[in-house]
Structures are given as structure tokens and as C-alpha cells.
Structure 1
């Protein structure tokens, strides 16, 4: 995966716009369905991220000599890690989900404003 950088002049302009507008995107407020959808997607993303972290951390450990390992233990451990990841995401422990949700809602506001402007309504 390639990481792209944002030119400094664009980043500075965006930061200035956010300061002058009070960090809220101008536009139409999203409806309840859009808000629920944004929250669900953000929580799922945070769970996926937490799951990847847990899997990476688990791979750095040596096998447990008490239980002996095996395919059954791998499957159970994977399911347990998924549940841990879901619990982490539901609590919002990492804070990634809330940040993504805010960004999705800002994008929805902008798109609503763009649609309203395109239709000619004031």
C-alpha cells in the first residue's frame, strides 16, 4: 500500500478553512439513517483495525506449552480475538471509530449541500 502525502499549501488551506468555519462542514444535516450507517461503518472499521492489531500481537508470542497448540486452538483464538476486537470497538477505546464517523458525517453534509446547489434550491 502506498502512502501519499498532502501538499503543504493544501493542508494549510484546509486547516485555515476548518478554523474559520468552526470545524463544521457547511451543508445539509444528515438524516438518522445516514448517521446510523456512519456509526456502524466506523465501528466495524475500528473492530477490523483492533482485530489486525490483536492478530499481529498474538503472532509475536511463542506457542503456549500448556495447551499444546494445534488447529483447534488457532480457530478458537481467532474467534476470541474477533470478540475482543468487537468489544474494543463498541467501547470506542481506540477513538478511531468516532474520528471516522465525524469525517463521514462531514462528507455527507457536503454532498447534501452540493446536491441542493445542483438542483437550484437556495
Structure 2
């Protein structure tokens, strides 16, 4: 079972339901570095912002005259660019909060 699958299973049913081999999530350490954690947190923030922007667009507040497939594709790409820009500039602070939450679960530097 992959690490992601086992972690998802632990979150879904808890360690007691999985058996004695399961480690509580609080004790798991990874070999990921802080830089990798920051990168993943930024990508998550960008995905979150893109979802918000896409949901706002789908609320049908836009002009129906500009509702072609080409315009939808452009809007989707524009939402992705806006989301990436906001995440890179830490506009919402979601990535920073994720890094603070999970920083004790990663190693502090490149120790290879």
C-alpha cells in the first residue's frame, strides 16, 4: 500500500481499525525537506484559490454573450494564472499556515 493510500486510510478509519502496524499520524516523519513542504503548500493554496475563482465564475454572474467554449477555456487558464500569482505572493496565507502546521514532520535540511 502506498504512503498516500495508507495515510488516507488512517484518516478515514483511524489507526485502531487498521491494526497494530499502523503508526499514529503524529509520529510519522518523512524525508521531505522544508523547501518541498513550502512548494507543496504553495501548490495547494493555488489549487484552493483556483477552485474559488472557478466556483465564482460558474455562479453565472458574467455576461451570457461571452459564454463560448473559447471564453470558458480562457477563463479557466486565467483563473489558474491568478491562483498561481496569489499563492506565490502569499496573499491569503494558506500556504504559510500549512507550513507552520506540518513543519515538525519534515527534516530541517537536505540530509542526503
Per the normalisation by structure 2, the TM-score is 0.62
CA RMSD of aligned residues (A): 2.4
Answer yes or no: is 1:82 the counterpart of 2:80. Answer: yes
CA contact (8 A) 2:43 2:87 kept: yes
The answer for the alignment partner of 2:23 in structure 1 is none
Deviation at 1:62, TM superposition (A): 3.2
Q: Which runs of 5+ in 1 are unaligned?
A: 5-30, 110-122
CA distance in 1 between counterparts of 2:91 and 2:61 reads 27
Q: Displaced runs of 4+ in structure 1, greater than 2 A?
A: none
Deviation at 1:102, TM superposition (A): 1.7
The answer for the alignment partner of 1:105 in structure 2 is 103
How many aligned residue pairs are there?
79
CA distance in 1 between counterparts of 2:94 and 2:38 reads 11
Deviations 1:18-68 (A, max 9, x none): xxxxxxxxxxxxx9x701101100000000000001011111133425x53
